[in-house]
A and B are shown apart, each in its own frame.
Chain A
Amino acid sequence: MRLTLRYFGALRDRLGREAEDRDIADVTTAGAAIDALVEQDSTLASALLDFPRARYAINQRFATRTALLADGDELAIFPPVTGG
């Protein structure tokens, strides 16, 4: 399936990119997709090691690693939020 990835905050700065489209085969959940992306991309792998508390959103809603993904979804990865 094709996913649009978006990165925010310190993770975006660390990666030096804010969005990209990626194709991933044979995954159904957010966690599996992220594991597959990390396999393909050593920059993302090392960045995520620096952000062990990273949060996810699918189509702009908070999601856990077990949340289901569909073709065309927007998957965002970002550090814990610091609003207020």
Chain B
Amino acid sequence: MTDVITTRIQSEPFDMAAECALLAERCGEAGAIASFVGIVRGEGGLRDLTLEHYPGMTETGIAELARNAEARFPLQGGLVIHRYGTLTPGEAIVLVLAASRHRQSALDAVAFLIDHLKTEAVFWKRERYLDGTVRWVEAYESDDARVAKWKN
């Protein structure tokens, strides 16, 4: 059985337009493809951002999240790409695409996936600033609240 939502964990950049076109081709029945792209913000003199992951657990966790989204929303297809390694401001970190017959389930599936990626995807971000400061990003409690609202 083929997964509805494909998941990839990679250090390489991705091509949003190409991925969207591939998904559209794969999902001929879809009337809507919704997307989310997360981008490294360059504020405060950030030099770069390094995402550490837990090889094995990170992949398994994101695949399980994708299975949950498939069970919850009527999707024709979807894609989650999450990068690890060192990224500079302006680079894309994460891509979420969801294809459905109608826009609402596509938009909802993307929101569900990114909200859960924030609290469940096994990555840790370390920021390095132009002045040499290095700091690990702390988890936001507001992200937990966003996930809690899906539990109904």
Q: Is B57 an interface residue (CB 8 A)?
A: yes
A76 CA to B139 CA in the complex, in Å?
18
> Interface size bucket, A side?
10 to 19
CB of B124 within 8 A of CB of A79, answer yes
How many whole Å from B52's CB to the nearest CB in chain A? Answer: 6
Contact of A8 among B93, B120, B124 (CB under 8 A): B124
Task: Select the stretch in B12-20, B27-35, B101-109, B111-119 that faces chain A.
Answer: B111-119
Closest to B114 in A: A84
Interface centre among B38, B52, B119 (most CB of A within 10 A): B52
Q: Is B11 an interface residue (CB 8 A)?
A: no
Interface hits, B118-145 → A, CB 8 Å: 118-126, 136-139, 143
Q: Please give the residue numbers on chain A whose beta carbons come within 8 Å of chain B beta carbons, in ascending order.
A: 6, 8-10, 13, 53, 57, 60-62, 76, 78-84
Q: Please give the residue numbers on chain B whose beta carbons come within 8 Å of chain A beta carbons, in ascending order.
A: 38, 51-52, 54, 56-57, 60-61, 82, 93-94, 114, 117-126, 136-139, 143
